[in-house]
Structure 1
Amino acid sequence: MRRLLPMLTAALLLGLPAAASADSRLEAMFQDDPRILSSDAKVRNATLDEARSLGVQRIRVTAFWNRFAPNATGTEKPANFDGSNPDAYEKGQWDVLDAVITGAKERGLAVNLNPSAPGPKWAGSAFIEDRLDGVTNPSPVEFAAFVAALGKRYAGTFTPAGGSAALPRVDYWSIWNEPNQGAWLAPQWVGTGSSAVPASAQRYRVLAAGAWSALELTGHTVATDTILVGDTAPKGRPTVASVASAMSPITFQKRLYCLDDRLQILKGAAAKAQDCSESGDAAQFVSANPALFRMTGYAHHPYELGFKPDQAPENPKENVTTANLGLLTDQLDRIMARYGVARKPVPLYLTEYGYQTNPPDRLGVSLNEQAAYINEGEYIAWRNSRVKTLSQFLLVDDAPIPGTDKADKWSSSFQTGLRYGPESGKEGKAKPALNAYRLAFFLPQRTVPSNRKLKVWGRVRPARSVTTVTLQLRGRTGSYRTFRTLKTNRYGFVNTTVRVRSSSRAARLTWKSGSRTFASRGVSFKVRKR
């Protein structure tokens, strides 16, 4: 695929750059593509309105390639179609995305645009099975053209035909979604079983290179924009049962950077198998892959879905969740050192996160556990200086995928929303996690030392400046009573230690906004006796 790289810039035209805005500490991101990209304007607008009211700062939006490409289910690319030209696409194909990006700007919400699979069938090859047609061997040249169309359209200077004003600029990009998952990029492997050889990393390497070039040539560079690579899923399959079996993010990242299992640069036949230079020339590899070395940061999805955020995942040297993010950053540091690249430590952008709940999925965590775990997960992310953003995945639960077995229908889709979704019998009803997301609260230590000093952490997500919260305590019985007034920092976080009464058994925060008072979830604790 290296021979494709010189071809990528030929079809792309130059655009204009613009300034990017600075992010605040641990940006609050949110994603709900089924609702935000709904063809129903009322659903779209209601979702954006609620995201804004909850204190979301940025929405992540997937630009599904096949929703824009003409003849997406066909094997023939339309004659004379120039995928890098926004005006070459069929009339109306851009309407929803234009409305989302415009609507976000009107509400003060920034946008992370994620160009990704599935793509048109005519851009793929060597298909494996029907369900994977849109993700199998996607053409890096055609994908780069699609990214170029997005880059031009959302450069801040593009006025659509019949429009009266330029569309807003997008200055935050993540390239592809979960390329280490067979449902998003296939094949993952050549062969199966113990002799399987990784295949997806080399394809993603060239997809990322093409997208990087397309963004640069349309005025989106790391000097002005946030550009992320990776967007990896947290886990791989323990055995390679099929060529589409998920690959662990650690193995995927090693092969992405042309490294073996010991982080040595691949050479010879092993390098050739990964489409890497057989000579192992480090400087040449760095020069040929700016997306892998000059990117703003690395994006990852540290889901655990069914266990506490601090519980190590199965195969903890390969899979990466909130419990072992250091594994990922340590490897990134070693990769940069291996190639002699001097740059600031690569930051992490956690662009999907959430917890599957029971109800409705019998395999999920309880509703109260979901509320507790998203708060703890955010605390872990906040405490890690390498993490720049954390994204909640879904406002409203997904509907089950049609045709799935009735007993497992809820496991067929994501039930990580803060509200119940279709077919649940409670559609739209809030889960406890909705309020826990708005007003986060976590106690790092549930057993308080005998000195009665309780560590308190929380976040008033809707706050845009310093605000006041009330810490309330209660004893073994009775109601909560005001204990102390605390001030957040300018990002809405409170992180402090207070001396509590020995009889105290639980705490919560309250926050007043206008005429409404919100209360966090209550968290129990125990004071150790002297």
Structure 2
Amino acid sequence: MRRGGPRVVLAGLLASLVAFGASGASPARAAVDTEVGIADDAQILYEGPSAAARAVAAWQDLGIDTVRIHARWAFIAPHPDDPRAPKGFHPRDPDDPLYNFAALDHAVDLLIAAHIRPMLALTGSGPLWATAKPALGNPRYRPSPHGFGDFSHAVAARYRGRVTRYLVWNEPNQPGWLQPQFSCTSRRVCTPVAPHLYRELFRAAAAAVRGVDPSAEVLVGTLAPRGQAPHKENAVMRPLQFLRSLGCVKADYRRDRSGACAGAAAIRASGFAYHPHPVRLAPTAHDPEPDDASFGDTKRLERALDRTTAAGILRPTTGARFDLYFTEFGYQTNPPDPISGVTPARQAAWIQQADYLAWRDPRVKNVTQYEWIDEPTKVSRFGAQYAGWQSGLRYVGGPPKPLAHAFPNPFYIDARPHLQARFWGQVRPGGATQITLQQASGTRWTAVAQAFTNAHGYWTIDRPIGTPGRYRFTYRLVLPSGGPPRTFTSLPQDVVPRP
């Protein structure tokens, strides 16, 4: 967690323990501290400079470490709807006057000034003139790896020294981002195409970025968490099927040397990005489809990733296993979405639980909240109601959801056998902060323990619990935006002992 504004720092912090009764309090383990991210392109790119400035100021106070922004090829390149590239255009030159980097420049500048790390997603769709068949009028159809490499070079050169992490393409297993997904000879016989297209797009982008900045992180994947039965060319591909084809392994994880995998060289990435949106599943619930993987299937994803890495051509740049970066994660709420949403209270509870589970997994390095403010509901071009995303901390127009209260200070109680519990939380922004754990007693709250957060804002307390109880934690700090110290209080959590 990025260090925030002024706060109390006491000597001997790492060994500190202040308790009211028998309890154990210790700083959280730095080895599994997780970056906190947010993604909301509407606010930082498309609503204008004033909206972007307000968003970044709010994110700074929320303790955001990193912001994912789409560097979308078709929005930055010139004449994206033309079948031919404009004359005199130099696509590798970041200063070519035909490029339109204005909104992205402003976003990156705002984030760096707020000490928040920009994380750029180099993604399509691209301009028609950079597709295999411009006459189709489909910017998602077989984009040119060479052209995408030129674009990636321009972006990396423009932000060299300011941006050090890149994602390559967004949800390439979704036909809304990359086509075709399959080649089908019948409704029963469809073979993957998109993973092989994506492999070459990734190679081109990674080579371009590393050619400009050899130390940059380049993440592979960014997959959507679920798909469909492959009965048509542009069905959504299930993520683990996509992963295996990308890494050139078969369904049984034996090496595949046929077709597009014949002679394929290794592809290397700094980490694996993924979007484990659970929709209405709890953070511990499993998706029944074995080739899909929501948040509760993180271990399933890790096993598939490890087996693909061991047998195929996908390789981490360091170490033997890929770390995970959950570069989109959220729950939509009802209201406003009665189809895919959960109650606002459940959204807040499940996001906090997921934060704890991610912190507990040393391979999960980033969880990026998607999004900050809901998108307006609308009817899609296919007739679906409640299209768009309504997973924000705030409703359209700005009113807060319970998650807006919980997000700066997530809190979770992990009930354990033998009447024990781990109390876990985080203070955002990070830094050394004293927290007080309180238990409800009727209408009053009684202090039962204290702890100090580590440099990333995490804290844990292990203590016995003999009866069901309600708890919360409270603390004081000065926000990065300034002003006098303020007292913050987490949402309360209930716990039931496990015998």
Give the TM-score, by structure 2 length: 0.87
Please give the alpha-carbon distance, in whole angstroms, between the structure 2 residues aligned to 1:528 and 1:262.
39
Residue 394 (1) aligns with residue 394 (2): no
After TM superposition, give the deviation of residue 409 of structure 1 in Å.
Answer: 3.2
After TM superposition, give the deviation of residue 90 of structure 1 in Å.
Answer: 2.1
Please give the alpha-carbon distance, in whole angstroms, between the structure 1 residues aligned to 2:294 and 2:43.
26
After TM superposition, give the deviation of residue 88 of structure 1 in Å.
Answer: 2.2
Residue 472 (1) aligns with residue 449 (2): no
Residue 193 (1) aligns with residue 190 (2): no
Q: Is the 8 A contact 1:190 1:243 kept in 2?
A: yes
Q: Which of 306, 311, 314 is the matching residue for 2:285? A: 311
Partner SS state of residue 152, structure 2: helix
Partner SS state of residue 193, structure 1: coil
Please give the alpha-carbon distance, in whole angstroms, between the structure 2 residues aligned to 1:107 and 1:381.
25
The aligned counterpart of 2:104 is 97
Q: Which of 78, 81, 98 is the matching residue for 2:86? A: 78
The aligned counterpart of 2:219 is 228
The aligned counterpart of 1:350 is 326
Q: Is the 8 A contact 1:233 1:301 kept in 2?
A: yes
Alpha carbons of structure 1 residues 473 and 128: separation in structure 2 relative to 1, 3 Å: farther
Alpha carbons of structure 1 residues 241 and 399: separation in structure 2 relative to 1, 3 Å: farther
Give percent identity, aligned residues only.
29
Residue 258 (1) aligns with residue 248 (2): yes
Question: Superposed, which structure 2 residues align to 1:427-506 within 5 Å?
Answer: 427-445=397-415, 452-463=419-430, 465-475=431-441, 477-500=442-465, 502=466, 505-506=469-470
The aligned counterpart of 1:276 is 261
The aligned counterpart of 2:346 is 369
Question: Superposed, which structure 2 residues align to 1:237-256 within 5 Å?
Answer: 237=228, 239-256=229-246
Q: Greater RCO between the two (CA within 8 Å, min separation 6)? A: 2
After TM superposition, give the deviation of residue 149 of structure 1 in Å.
Answer: 0.5
Q: Is the 8 A contact 1:507 1:524 kept in 2?
A: yes
Letter of the structure 2 residue corresponding to residue 115 of structure 1:
L
Please give the alpha-carbon distance, in whole angstroms, between the structure 2 residues aligned to 1:528 and 1:330.
30
Please give the alpha-carbon distance, in whole angstroms, between the structure 2 residues aligned to 1:327 and 1:200.
22
Task: Give CA deviations for 1:155-203 in whole Å, capped at 9, x if unaligned.
Answer: 13xxxxxxxxxxxx21111111111111111111112632011110000
Letter of the structure 1 residue corresponding to residue 277 of structure 2:
Y
Alpha carbons of structure 1 residues 85 and 417: separation in structure 2 relative to 1, 3 Å: same
The aligned counterpart of 2:12 is none
Partner SS state of residue 194, structure 1: coil
The aligned counterpart of 2:208 is 214
Alpha carbons of structure 1 residues 24 and 262: separation in structure 2 relative to 1, 3 Å: closer
Unaligned stretches of 5+ residues in structure 1 = 1-21, 157-168, 422-426
Q: Is the 8 A contact 2:329 2:370 kept in 1?
A: yes
Letter of the structure 1 residue corresponding to residue 475 of structure 2:
W
Task: Give CA deviations for 1:483-517 in whole Å, capped at 9, x if unaligned.
Answer: 222222221111221234x4552111112224322
Task: Give CA deviations for 1:79-102 in whole Å, capped at 9, x if unaligned.
Answer: 2322111122426x1111111111
Task: Give CA deviations for 1:327-374 in whole Å, capped at 9, x if unaligned.
Answer: 222222223322597933211111110001001001210000000111
Please give the alpha-carbon distance, in whole angstroms, between the structure 2 residues aligned to 1:180 and 1:40.
31
The aligned counterpart of 2:495 is 525
Q: Is the 8 A contact 2:32 2:361 kept in 1?
A: no
Please give the alpha-carbon distance, in whole angstroms, between the structure 2 residues aligned to 1:23 and 1:36.
31
The aligned counterpart of 1:45 is 53
Alpha carbons of structure 1 residues 368 and 140: separation in structure 2 relative to 1, 3 Å: same
Please give the alpha-carbon distance, in whole angstroms, between the structure 1 residues aligned to 2:78 and 2:494.
56
Q: Which of 166, 171, 175 is the matching residue for 1:178? A: 171
Task: Give CA deviations for 1:223-278 in whole Å, capped at 9, x if unaligned.
Answer: x22110111111111x22432211111110111112111112223xxx21xx121x
Task: Give CA deviations for 1:412-471 in whole Å, capped at 9, x if unaligned.
Answer: 1110100001xxxxx2001000121110011122xx65x6433211111212x2211111
Give the TM-score, by structure 1 length: 0.82
Unaligned stretches of 5+ residues in structure 2 = 1-29, 479-484
**What RMSD in Å do the two structures reach over aligned CA positions?**
2.3
Q: Is the 8 A contact 1:69 1:89 kept in 2?
A: no
